[in-house]
Amino acid sequence: MIASDTNASLDDLDRAIIQATQAGLPLTEKPYEAIAEQVGGTPAQVMARMQRMQDRGIIRRIGAVPNHYVLGFRGNGMSVWDVPDEHIQICGEMVGALEFVSHAYHRPRHPPLWNYNLFAMVHGRDRDEVMLKVEKIAKLLGENDRGHEVLFSTRILKKTGLRLPGGNP
């Protein structure tokens, strides 16, 4: 699941590329050439390294990250579900495949306070739309839904980017 040995294979050039692209890909016709100039490699090297990091899952993908909130999706709810542990795989896959779910994770329970083991972030234009979508998930899960809640955020207390370990050697 978590490949802990992959970090060992990141070398200085990989780290320099990570550092150079943390804020984003250059918006110029030849972005990999621009990165190469910055890190002191050739464009072919940079492209090969980025392809390799992508093949290994160090880069999940290269692409656009839409801002749900600015695009009008202001109701974002963290839905949490108590599903049988023996069915977590099928339940997680079903829920994760839904278009309105951006992340789905299996996480540990902390009984008796916290009995939920499946988390799914649900996006909608407002809270009502989120609740309708949560009902769709409930129907989809059927008997596997032994209880669920939706936690809406009321306030952002802190928001900074993730510090990338490979980028801070």
Partner 1 sequence: MDATDRAIINRLQHGFPICEQPYGQAAAELGIGEQELLERLRAMLKDKRLSRFGPMYHAERMGGGLSLCAMSIPQNDFEQVAEKVNAFPEVAHNYAREHALNMWFVLATDTPERIQQVLREIEESTGYPVYNMPKKQEFFIGLHFTL
In the set 13, 37, 38, 58, which binds partner 1 (CB under 8 A)?
A: 58
45 binds partner 1 (CB under 8 A): no
Would you say 86 and 143 are in contact if contact means Cβ atoms under 8 Å apart?
no
CA atoms within 13 A of residue 72's CA, in its CB half-sphere: 1
Q: Which stretch binds partner 1 (CB under 8 A): 130-138, 140-148, 156-164?
A: 156-164
CB of 87 to partner 1, least distance (A): 13
Distance, in Å, from the CA atom of 126 to the CA atom of 111, rounded to the nearest integer, reads 31
60 binds partner 1 (CB under 8 A): yes
CB of 143 to partner 1, least distance (A): 20
In the set 12, 99, 112, 142, which binds partner 1 (CB under 8 A)?
A: 99
- What character string, x for contact with partner 1 (CB under 8 A) and - otherwise, covers 70-89? xx------x---------xx
* Among the listed residues 91, 89, 73, the one whose alpha carbon sits nearest the alpha carbon of residue 81: 91
- What character string, x for contact with partner 1 (CB under 8 A) and - otherwise, covers 105-134? xxxx-x--xx----x---x-----------
CB of 139 to partner 1, least distance (A): 18
Q: Which of residues 14-33 bind partner 1 (CB under 8 A)?
A: 18, 21-25, 27-33
Residue 149 phi/psi, 5° resolution? -145, 165
Burial 49-64 (b: 16+ CB within 10 A, else e): bbeebeeeebbeeeee
Single-letter amino acid, residue 160: T
56 binds partner 1 (CB under 8 A): yes
Distance, in Å, from the CA atom of 76 to the CA atom of 69, rounded to the nearest integer, reads 8
